[in-house]
Each structure stands twice: as structure tokens, then as C-alpha cells.
Structure 1
């Protein structure tokens, strides 16, 4: 039977881009895209809503396929929106004079954090110069000498009075560095031991009593002198503070006036002033004063008066947009660094470092969800921050118990941020189902499409995107013929005549490579020939496995027939996906049968070399046989199917039509043309259903036939529903035009059966039988014969049993 009614015309095999749809000569005539978003209306509306709603629970998950430029698109889109928003405040950490282990966080208007740091550095520098001058002044020396003189005179008066009384009572007062002592004496000299022994008992008793009275008075004098010393020290300290205040006061008054609108800063400055007056001795000595010791003595560092500008937004235009490519715990949440000092690790508030979350506070943080999930603690800590709305700087090692020493506990910073996660739709589903917090915190899903319809508007956006990319990357402009070839390549990647892929990264990579070949060919613009060369070169770099497989077929190592007819054997078509390269190749499928009751058996399934979808397809074959041929008799056969020379997993149901046709050929004992390959899945009713990768499969069989020599009889049968998916290479289309190759589209198994056998498939007659001399009739007769044989065997077994 002629197959012309199912054969496709060359114009059905590929959709070519009409140059009239491209109203420009080169991409220089096009306006660049503002947001670099092409045909993503759903995702764009979700982004606009998610970015504008100011709610901490409405963070965004951007889901989409790989190579769709999601990250670049999101960053550009968010940056444009963020530029219109106000810049967030600065955050600084300062010393906490009340609790040194808990540094204080101050919030300052944008740009004033660095100003405060400079002011404090200038303050300390001035004080280190001017305070020593005050304490070296004549006024200070006179006032201090007056205090010393007053104290010395009062102390001397007390000692003189005590000495006179001691002399009167016959004692000598000895004043030394160790204290005061009384000795019995006469004429200003202490009594010797012999003189003391010579005294009478009454004289000794009198001496003892006078000694006790004098010791009491001496102790009272000592207490009085100590009180005077304490009063002198307090007076001296007050003098120092008064003098220091006179030197420090003007500087602080100036700062207090400058920051009067910042209550936190005013409170901090007053604490600094109090602490400086309390520790004024550190400022008395001029910096760089030589030490009397042979080794240097550490000078006061005044670290406690420094300002750690934690987040500086002085140069941030609008809200910050941070893309963190390595979201480990330290990069995301910051930490407290340590430095080695005298063999130990020490730290202070100036070593507190921010993370991406701090730098993005008040704006937007963009993360790749796969990168984030690689760091479990980062993901959990991020959720905790979003729930508590504060950022805590915690030492991860301390949390895990690796560090026993105490460290700083900086004051948490309020968090106001929009987090944008970018990842695969499958990851979104997993997180939404298995993480109860995820759905509460990421309520906006911006789903990127993977393809777009070929409309004039979308073609214009596509062309403008290419124009923008060429301008940004300093590439040659693309000629309209080159753009037409890029559009066709986008259709090839989409696998559809009316759709273009949105895996834009692959398209733009081709543009960059075509720019190289255009410059190599000394072109001023990128023509279609340059784009074609870029596509071919890219394919050539990756198709070594395909070439080796073709060599196996050419050398006869893999058995593939492209001529003649064979019973129970057919060329199915398989897809090999190798990541950077996908191609199709024919596979020999064979079918045999025998009397039995196991039905259709797939050898690949029995060998556990088949996937679930393939196994389902085999079970559908059994359903088809029962539905069509077992209405008036039971099936009494065991049929086996297999992919010959298959050494890997067989998956998918796109070969189920081929398997069924091979089985029907074996049952009907009708040979199948080996010059035709078949692809498609089948239903229990015999409908040929669409499959994926149809272009790769056709081109794969074409290459084998071309290597063997095209004779005009070869071709491929595909499902009718896949016609719109055809974007075959121009070489294949040209071969069809010349009648050297064919593509047929069928809707039922019977149509494919007639093409492959040249015989009518046959229709069921009203009495349930089939039209004579048809394939279905022959199959039905074989199955009926198997049934009769089975009955005869059963009768013989019963007869032998009775005998």
C-alpha cells in the first residue's frame, strides 16, 4: 500500500524564519532591553508583587530551568527597582563600657558611620597631644605643688607635735620608710640595754605606762596622716579631672552638638568622656616618650574608644543588592575574628566582621538555593534570622562545642531584608513539602518558563536581548540573516516549530562564538554563515561519543539493517543524553513467540535492565493484544521482546510502537521493511502517542542511512502529534526534497503496519473476524492456532491421566 497519504512534505519538516518579521538590518538598529527579561510575564508579575510587598514573610523563590539566565536577569531587575529606594542606615559597633563582652550596635543615618569613626580618631589624636600639655603646664604644677605643700605641712605638724610629746615623756620618735617607732631615751639618745636593766621596778612601770599612752597617740596620728593622704589623693585626682575636663570638654561639646539628633551616639559620647576622665593617667604621657627600661613598654592602645564601621552604606546608591555566590556560615552571617598575641588568640569589638546578610540589610539578598543547601547551618540560621527579624553574630565553632573559651556576644542588629532564592522547580517542591518553615517564609514563587511562542512581539524581544548582549560584551552586531538563524536554533532547542527556547544562555553562547568566527572571517557583522559555523563547531567539540557509535555501526559491530525485510525485527530509535550533547541512534528490536501462557515478556525487564516507564509500555502491549485478539479466545502464547545489543538501562515508552509492530510481524509471519525506523508510544487502543526528542531520532537514523548510502526507500515513522515538533536540520530536509529520505506521520498502529509491511492492516468484520489476507487476520489466525494446539495438549494430558 502506498504511504503517500502519511508522508510529510519538506515544508512540514522545519519552520524557517521569515526575514520580513525582522524589521532591522543589524542589531545596531534595535533599542536595548531595560530588564533583559524575555517572555516571562508570569515570573515578572510575581517578582513585581514580591519585591513591592513589604512583609518579612513574603520572600521570593525564583524557579526555572538551567541556562535560562535567571541569576543575571533577577540581579538586573532587582537592581533597577532598588535604585529607586532609599539607602539603608549605617551600622557601627562600639565598646560597651558596662558589659565589655557585649559590644553595642549603633544605627546611624547613611554615611555618618564613617564620620563618627573619623571624629573619634581625631578626638583621641587631639587628646593624646593636648592632655599631656595641660599636665605639663605651670598652672597645673603650681596647683599641684600647693596641694603637696598643704599636705606636707599638715603631716609635719602632726609629727612634730608627736615628737615633742615623746621627748617630754622621755622617748625618742624614729620616723622611717617603714613607719613610726618609739624608743626610751635620754638626752636625745636611746637607752642601752644595761641602762634599762638598771632601772627600778617603779621606773620600769612608769616607763611602760608612758609608752602605752604614747603608742595610742602615735596610732591616732598615723590614722590622721592616712586620712590626710587619702584626702590629698582625692584632691589630686579631682585636680587632674578638672584639668583634664578643661582640656577634653571643648572637644566633647563639639561632638555632642554635632550628634545631638542621635540619642544613641550622645549617650555613647558621654560614656566615653566619663571613661577618659576615669583613666586620665593613660593620656598624661606623651606618645613616643622614651622609656628608662631597655625594653619597650606597651603604650595604651585606646582601642575602647575606636569605632568599628560594621556596615558602611555611604557609597550605596539606593537599596543594596547583594549576590552571594558562596553562602557559607561566615560569609553569610559574619563573625568575630581573632589575632595572635603573646601566644594566645585574643579579640575585641574592632574585629567583628559583617556578612552578606548585614551588607544586604535594608535591601535584597540573592542566593542560589543549591549553594545554600550545601551549607546546612547557613540554611537553618537564615530561617532563624528571618523568623526573629534580627541578625545575631554567633561563633559556629562555639555552637558546635569546638571552642570552650568565651568570646564576644555582639548586640543583634534588626533585620529588614528581602531574600531571593534561585533554583530548580524540583527543589522548590521538595522544600515546600518537607520543610514546614519554607512555605511560611517564601510565599512568592516566580516561575520562569522554558519556552515561548513565536510571536512578532517575542521575536522583537529576543532580537533586542541579543542586541543588548552584543553591546555589553563588545561583540559585532548581528545581521538580520544571523538573527534568523539564531531564532531557528532557538526553535531547534525548543523542539517545536512555533516555540523558542528560553534557555537563553545557550543562545548567547552561540552569539559569542559566532562573533569569533565572524572576526576570523573578517566580517563586519555576524551573518547566518557565522552562526551556522558556531553551531557546527560547538557540536563537533562534543559529538565524539556519537561518532564512535557511528563507527561501530559502520564496522558491523552494532547490527543495524537499512535494507531488505525481516520477520519480527524492526529499527527502533533511542536517545543518548550526555549532558553537553544529545543524539539519536537506531536500535534493533526483535520479537519471538511460542505456545505458552506468560503473555508478553520483555527480556530487558527480566534482566532488570529496564525502567518503570518502559515496563509500563510492555504491559500496555499485553493490553492491546487482549483487547484486539482475545475477545473470542484466550491468549495462549509467550512472546519475548528485547533491545538487541543493549548493555545499559532501557527507559521510556517511545519504542512501544516499534515493539508492538515487531511482535505483530512475528505473529503474522509478515516481514518488516528494515529501511524504515519507527518511534512512538502506543495506547491499549492502538493509538500512536507523541514522544520526545523526535528530531534527534530522525537525524540519528538519517546519519546511519547516509553512511550506508541513501536509496530513496529509507525513512522514519513518527506520531502524527509530533509533526509540530519537527525542526530537522536543513541537510535532512534537502534529502526529503530530493526524494532520498522520507518522514511519515501516523496516528494508529495499523497505519504504521501498512507502511512497514506493504499489506493492509485489515478491519474487524461484524461477525468478529478480520478481513482475509490482512496482517490482523494473519495474527488472529496464529493466535487461534496456538489456542487449538493448547487444547489438544490439554486433552492428551487428561487422557493419559485417566489411562
Structure 2
């Protein structure tokens, strides 16, 4: 097995500086470059007879920016209006009686004659009756004054039949919201409509970098940011890459960028600098780290005994991501996986599953671990061991497969009775061939082991093992990059679970041979006992 090499600091976060320096011009419409097909769908919809355009996206402000930018690229852009919060009055207008005279106040649909009206989907989900009124207009093209607010209370005067405003409607919502609308009205998907979809992310390439920076500049202008240095652009893209958890992608969320730019403008003025972005990131993290603080405190006070020194049999430091309901961010946490072996029939008992504290994905991962263990040791001889697997001090529902590698290493340590290094932590899923697979939250997990090492004031480096396939997801902060430079933290990417054994226990062939020797000895003892029993039975029969 080839010798593993630790990661270099440069591989821990992306560097977009060369791409930024290569930009010489700014595209007129960045969205045409980032999402050309979606832009063309919106443009085509203006000339096509369909009255409805459905735009699937996650952020309202991003969707509005996309539509406005796309429309502005036309030679004669139509008028447009966008409503995020509305009701019957705002859409269909109002019908009232004043001194026995009928007064009709037009709503947004009528006001946007021959134009574009963009509306968010959630108000229609909250008021199904309003959706069916909108659907009536989409099907007939006629706006009935009977649908106006207050029309049902007018009895003595006949309402006008209605008008045909030729207003195109763009319905903005997420995939889950459109799925909910389809459940509410199964005929929704049958409506004649143009469909477009945009993501709140973009891949950073030589072809897309100018469009990405143009979008960033547009959003900065909204917050009155007039100057962005090249270093600030790189810092910003690194931050947006960290949010996306991918070195080749950045998040493009207009609402989030407005929040970031508004803070930097308020604190540091019209020029955006790397220091201003760093201050924003730190402020956000500090304001939302109370649950993480309590977790760290329990480790510092030894209420949760995490050991990062010495060696132990059947005990491995795993890494998890904590998600809390109602809390906007996730954070990483170190936990202990322990394995205890005893004479048995080769079964691996997952205590979390037995206690009904584990989800289906976790259960599947534990069965894969057991399957691979059987493939390694159960093909030639019966395995006379069983083992219990416990996630120590786990008091809530557990799910996910990222602890599979740690579980397997803990099992191997217990079966071989060979110690595991406690200055090593690991994360990774695995398949039935022992290959290590990618997991989520890799940046939070790497940060967790370094944070724990700081809490314990260690003077030696700590080692973390991550899946090789997760390298593209690394986007660590400057503190972690510096820790790797100072060799306080050493990160090894692994492709097979045996590499984890090599690093955490010792030479894998020697470890496996120790287990096989124990299996043979116990199986030989069983055979001797069986032979003695047969002799006793023959004597008794005689």
C-alpha cells in the first residue's frame, strides 16, 4: 500500500486570484452566461401565447435579479412588477360602492397590461382560493371584476364582465413549494406554461468568472459599495465557496450578498476590503455559536471525555455534524466510537439501532461495515467473535453513514486487541469493498477536531483522516490553514479503510494476521472441545 502524504495548506481553500485578474470586461447580463437556457425561456415566454412562467429558485431576491437582468437585455423590455407578499386586493383590485356609484380600483394584474408580473408562490399555498382565482385568469386570459376584493358584497349594481390585460405571470418558488402546489391542485402541471430553473450557485471557470463578478458588483451597488479590490473579490469568493462547500462553486444568493455588503458599508464605508469581509464572517460566527460553546464547554469540563493523547483498544475518535432545529448553522463535534468483542457467531450489534436511536441510513452503514468484516475474515473460517458498537454519550436520534470508517477501525482494534492512536480522528462512509466514500459537512468536522485540540491545549499535532473524494469540498478558514502550516493539524486523505488502519493502529497485514490467529486458536479450541465431547458420548453409549 502506497505511503500516504498529508495535505498541503494550499489545498485547503480555493484561490480565485488568477481568474479574477484575467477578467477584462463585464457582460451586459451575467445571467445569460450563468443560466443561458433559463434566460432564453423567459425571453421566449414574452412572445409565446402561454400566460404563465414558472421559475424554480431558492431565494426570492435572486429570482427577481435574474428576471430583471434578463428583461433589461431586450431591445424593448416590457414593464415588470414583483410582489413577494400579496392578497386578493393586490392582485385583482377592489370593487366598492361610494354614494351608490361603483368604484373599481385595478390590481397588479390589470396594472401590468402587456407587461410582466412576478409573484412568490407561498401566499398562494396559504390561500388556495386565491390560487384558483389566479388559475382562472391563466386559463381564460380574462380578468373578472367578480374576483376583485369586496365584489361579493355588491348586490345591487352589475359588475363589468372584465378585461383582458395580456399580463404574463411569473410564479417564483422552490421545488418543494411547486411540489406542494401540485398536491394542492393536481391539474397545475397540466397548465400551459414555460418552465425555467436557476440555482443559487455557479461554477467558477474562466468562462463564468466575469459573469459572477458582474453579479457581485450589481449587488454591491445596491448597498452603495462603489469599490472592491481584487484581494477583496478573492476573499469574497472564498467565503461564498465555503458556504457552498465546494472549491469550484460559489453561492450566488442576492439576499445574503445584500446582508454582507450592507454590513460592510455600515462598518467600513464604500470600499470593500478583505478585512471588512473577515469582520463580517467573524461577527456572524460569534453571534451564532452559543450551542457550539456549550458543546465545547462540556468537553473542556470532561463531562464528555474526549481523549486526544495516548492509545486505547476499541476506541476511535469520530467526527459528526450537529444540526439543531431553529438554529441557522451547523457545527462539528468530536465523539467516541467504542467496540467491545466477545465470543459469538460473528454478529456486529449496533447498540444505537437496538435502542431505536438510529435512522435508516445509519443502520445501513453499520450493516455494510459488518458485511465487509465478514468478507475479510469470514470466507475461510467461522468467525467466533461478536461485538457491540456504541456511540458513547449519544442521547438523541443518530443518522448518517459518516461514522462507518471509524466504526470499522474500532472493530478491528477490538478483535485484534491492538491499540488505536487517540491523537487521530476520522470520518468517512464506506462500501462493501472497503472503499472510503465522501461525507457531508467536511469543513465543520475538520474544524471540530482542531477546536477540540485547542480546548485541551495540546502541544503535539492532531491527525484527521478524511475521504479523498472530499478534497474538492474543503474550504477552510484562515485559522485552519495556518494550523496546517504550523503542523498543529495534519490532514490525510484516504481512499480505502485499510489506510485508516495503517495510520491509526499499525501495519494492516500484521493487524489482520493477529485477528486470523485469534480466530484459528478459538476455532481450534472449539474443535478440541467437540472432539472431547464425542469421546465422552461414545463411552456413555458403550
Paired residues for 1:280-679 under 5 Å: 319-337=78-96, 348-350=101-103, 352-394=104-146, 408-414=158-164, 416-429=166-179, 431=181, 435-441=185-191, 443-519=193-269, 525-578=271-324, 579-597=327-345, 599-679=347-427
CA distance change for structure 1 residues 705 and 541 in 2, over 3 Å: closer, same or farther?
same
d(CA) in 2 for partners of 1:49 and 1:506? 30
Instruction: Verify the 8 A CA contact 1:618 1:656 in the aligned structure 2.
Output: yes
d(CA) in 1 for partners of 2:173 and 2:532? 68
Note the C-alpha offset of 1:460.
2.1
d(CA) in 1 for partners of 2:199 and 2:533? 65
The aligned residue for residue 750 of structure 1 is 498
CA distance change for structure 1 residues 479 and 592 in 2, over 3 Å: closer, same or farther?
same
Deviations 1:5-34 (A, max 9, x none): 23212222222232673368xxxx975854
d(CA) in 1 for partners of 2:528 and 2:92? 82
d(CA) in 2 for partners of 1:511 and 1:796? 82
d(CA) in 2 for partners of 1:776 and 1:362? 75
Deviations 1:707-755 (A, max 9, x none): 2124333121001111122111222222222222100001000001110
Instruction: Verify the 8 A CA contact 2:365 2:429 in the aligned structure 1.
Output: yes
The aligned residue for residue 115 of structure 1 is none
**Structure 2: tracts of 5 or more residues without a match:** none
CA distance change for structure 1 residues 331 and 756 in 2, over 3 Å: closer, same or farther?
same
Note the C-alpha offset of 1:637.
4.3
Match of 1:39 among 34, 49, 59: 34
Deviations 1:143-193 (A, max 9, x none): xxxxxxxxxxxxxxxxxxxxxxxxxxxxxxxxxxxxxxxxxxxxxxxxxxx
d(CA) in 1 for partners of 2:449 and 2:442? 11
Note the C-alpha offset of 1:619.
1.4
Note the C-alpha offset of 1:701.
0.8
Instruction: Verify the 8 A CA contact 1:335 1:353 in the aligned structure 2.
Output: yes
Match of 1:84 among 38, 56, 76: 76
d(CA) in 2 for partners of 1:406 and 1:414? 25
Paired residues for 1:143-292 under 5 Å: none
Deviations 1:389-419 (A, max 9, x none): 32223369999xx979777543132353322
The aligned residue for residue 314 of structure 1 is none
d(CA) in 2 for partners of 1:405 and 1:5? 83
The aligned residue for residue 21 of structure 1 is 20
Instruction: Verify the 8 A CA contact 2:82 2:118 in the aligned structure 1.
Output: yes
How many residues are paired up?
Answer: 536
d(CA) in 1 for partners of 2:41 and 2:384? 59
**3-state SS, counterpart of residue 10 of structure 2:** helix
The aligned residue for residue 55 of structure 1 is 50
d(CA) in 2 for partners of 1:587 and 1:418? 55
Instruction: Verify the 8 A CA contact 1:17 1:484 in the aligned structure 2.
Output: yes
**3-state SS, counterpart of residue 556 of structure 1:** coil
The aligned residue for residue 217 of structure 1 is none
CA distance change for structure 1 residues 78 and 464 in 2, over 3 Å: closer, same or farther?
closer
**3-state SS, counterpart of residue 484 of structure 1:** helix
Please report the RMSD computed on the Cα atoms of aligned residues, expressed in angstroms. Answer: 3.3
The aligned residue for residue 11 of structure 2 is 12
d(CA) in 1 for partners of 2:179 and 2:246? 27
Query: Mean Cα displacement is larger for which, 739-748 or 36-45?
Result: 36-45
d(CA) in 1 for partners of 2:92 and 2:441? 46
d(CA) in 2 for partners of 1:436 and 1:43? 25
Instruction: Verify the 8 A CA contact 2:141 2:166 in the aligned structure 1.
Output: yes
d(CA) in 2 for partners of 1:507 and 1:555? 39
d(CA) in 1 for partners of 2:418 and 2:357? 29
**3-state SS, counterpart of residue 50 of structure 2:** coil
The aligned residue for residue 508 of structure 2 is 761
d(CA) in 1 for partners of 2:306 and 2:59? 36
CA distance change for structure 1 residues 694 and 55 in 2, over 3 Å: closer, same or farther?
same
**3-state SS, counterpart of residue 709 of structure 1:** coil
Instruction: Verify the 8 A CA contact 1:30 1:464 in the aligned structure 2.
Output: no
Instruction: Verify the 8 A CA contact 1:33 1:465 in the aligned structure 2.
Output: no
The aligned residue for residue 778 of structure 1 is 514
**3-state SS, counterpart of residue 566 of structure 1:** strand
d(CA) in 2 for partners of 1:504 and 1:790? 69
**3-state SS, counterpart of residue 715 of structure 1:** strand
Instruction: Verify the 8 A CA contact 1:321 1:360 in the aligned structure 2.
Output: yes
- TM-score, with length taken from structure 1: 0.61
d(CA) in 2 for partners of 1:434 and 1:775? 59
Instruction: Verify the 8 A CA contact 1:609 1:650 in the aligned structure 2.
Output: yes
d(CA) in 2 for partners of 1:362 and 1:710? 69
Instruction: Verify the 8 A CA contact 1:513 1:534 in the aligned structure 2.
Output: yes
d(CA) in 2 for partners of 1:553 and 1:620? 31
Note the C-alpha offset of 1:504.
4.3
d(CA) in 2 for partners of 1:68 and 1:326? 13
Note the C-alpha offset of 1:586.
0.8
Note the C-alpha offset of 1:462.
2.5
d(CA) in 1 for partners of 2:234 and 2:167? 43
Instruction: Verify the 8 A CA contact 1:609 1:648 in the aligned structure 2.
Output: yes
CA distance change for structure 1 residues 432 and 403 in 2, over 3 Å: closer, same or farther?
closer
d(CA) in 1 for partners of 2:112 and 2:524? 81
Instruction: Verify the 8 A CA contact 2:20 2:230 in the aligned structure 1.
Output: no
**3-state SS, counterpart of residue 482 of structure 2:** helix
CA distance change for structure 1 residues 46 and 603 in 2, over 3 Å: closer, same or farther?
farther
**3-state SS, counterpart of residue 227 of structure 2:** coil
**3-state SS, counterpart of residue 414 of structure 1:** coil
Instruction: Verify the 8 A CA contact 1:37 1:73 in the aligned structure 2.
Output: no
Instruction: Verify the 8 A CA contact 2:43 2:71 in the aligned structure 1.
Output: no
Bigger Rg, which one: 1
d(CA) in 1 for partners of 2:441 and 2:511? 30
Instruction: Verify the 8 A CA contact 1:397 1:403 in the aligned structure 2.
Output: no
Deviations 1:745-785 (A, max 9, x none): 0100000111001x2112xxxxxxxxxxx122233344555
**3-state SS, counterpart of residue 367 of structure 1:** strand
d(CA) in 2 for partners of 1:719 and 1:636? 31
d(CA) in 1 for partners of 2:5 and 2:194? 48
